[in-house]
Amino acid sequence: MLISLGPQAFVPVTPVFLVGTYDEAGRPGIMPAAWGGVCSTQPPCLAVSLRRSRWTWRAIQHRRAFTVSIPDRALAGETDFAGLVSGRSEDKFRTLGLTPCAGDHVDAPYVGECPVILELQLRHTLELGSHVQVVGEIMDVKVRRDCLTSEKLPDAGAVDALTYVPLAQEYRSTGEFVARAFAVGKTVKRRGGEERQ
Ligand X SMILES: Cc1cc2nc3c(=O)[nH]c(=O)nc-3n(C[C@H](O)[C@H](O)[C@H](O)COP(=O)(O)O)c2cc1C
The smaller minimum CB distance to ligand X, of residues 80 and 137, is found at 80
The smaller minimum CB distance to ligand X, of residues 123 and 172, is found at 172
- Closest contact distance (angstroms) between CB of 87 and ligand X is 3
93: helix, strand or coil:
helix
The smaller minimum CB distance to ligand X, of residues 121 and 163, is found at 163
Phi, psi for 26 (deg, rounded to 5): 85, 10
Q: Are 135 and 45 in contact (CB under 8 A)?
A: yes
What's the gap between Cα 62 and its chain centre? 21
196: helix, strand or coil:
coil
What residue ranges bind ligand X (CB under 6 A)?
Answer: 16, 29, 31-35, 49-51, 54-56, 80, 83, 85-88, 164
Q: Are 18 and 114 in contact (CB under 8 A)?
A: yes
- Closest contact distance (angstroms) between CB of 151 and ligand X is 32
- Closest contact distance (angstroms) between CB of 51 and ligand X is 4
The smaller minimum CB distance to ligand X, of residues 10 and 149, is found at 10
Other CB atoms within 10 Å distance of the CB of residue 127: 8
List residues bridging with 148 in a β-sheet.
154
- Closest contact distance (angstroms) between CB of 166 and ligand X is 9
